[in-house]
């Protein structure tokens, strides 16, 4: 049994979904892992992680539009210390996930045919985001 950690740095350009599936696959290959469990943890309160379809970009556009409607920037929020997109970003992160667990077999994440792993940036400005990867297995 082996385990390893890695911090994946993702530079965002503002709001949106940033696919990190290729980065996960590359790290698993470099480490020569075979079978086990990959856990991802987003170290932020205004960004999150998501598994969604990676084939049709309309899915990502519709997700982003939906979150704009349910947590608008012009809402009546008490918390606005970092601007009008601050509290909506926290709401969007709370409604999604800060961690994911993905089984790995034969060195590859066992994602479905159309599944991709994404960092979901909820702030307007570019950010340097960190997601910690933890693998346990062999």
Q: For 16-46, how does the pLDDT look when each residue is reduced to its tens digit (9 = 90+)?
A: 999 999 999 999 999 999 999 999 999 999 9
Q: For residue 77, what pLDDT is reported? A: 96
Q: For residue 107, what pLDDT is reported? A: 98
Q: For residue 37, what pLDDT is reported? A: 98
Low-confidence ranges of the chain (pLDDT < 50): none
Q: Could you tell me the pTM of the whole model?
A: 0.96
Q: For residue 127, what pLDDT is reported? A: 98
Q: For residue 42, what pLDDT is reported? A: 98
Residue 33 contacts residue 107 (beta carbons within 8 Å): yes
Can you tell me whether residue 93 is helix, strand or coil? helix
Nearest Cα neighbor of 116 from 55, 38, 47, 35 is 55
What DSSP character marks residue 98?
Answer: S
Can you tell me whether residue 101 is helix, strand or coil? strand
Strand residue runs (E) in the chain: 2-11, 16-19, 36-42, 47-53, 99-105, 108-109, 115-121, 128-137
Q: Where are the domains of the chain?
A: 2-137
Q: For residue 10, what pLDDT is reported? A: 98
Q: For residue 38, what pLDDT is reported? A: 98
Domain 2-137: which topology? Jelly Rolls (2.60.120)
Length of the chain: 138
Q: For residue 23, what pLDDT is reported? A: 98
Strand arrangement of the beta sheet that strand 115-121 belongs to: 16-19, 115-121, 47-53
Can you tell me whether residue 135 is helix, strand or coil? strand
Residue 36 contacts residue 137 (beta carbons within 8 Å): yes
């Amino acid at each position: 049994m082996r385990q390893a950690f890695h911090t994946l740095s993702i530079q965002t350009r503002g709001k949106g979904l940033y696919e990190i599936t290729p980065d996960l696959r590359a790290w698993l290959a470099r480490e020569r892992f075979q079978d086990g469990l990959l856990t991802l943890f987003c170290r932020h309160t205004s960004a999150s992680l998501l598994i969604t379809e990676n084939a049709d970009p309309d899915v990502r556009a519709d997700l982003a539009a939906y979150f704009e409607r349910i947590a608008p920037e012009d809402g009546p929020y008490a918390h606005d210390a970092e601007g009008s997109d601050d509290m909506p970003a926290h709401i969007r992160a709370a409604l999604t996930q800060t961690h994911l667990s993905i089984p790995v077999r034969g060195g590859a994440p066992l994602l479905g045919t159309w599944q991709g792993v994404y960092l979901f940036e909820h702030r307007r400005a570019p950010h340097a985001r960190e997601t910690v990867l933890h693998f346990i297995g062999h």
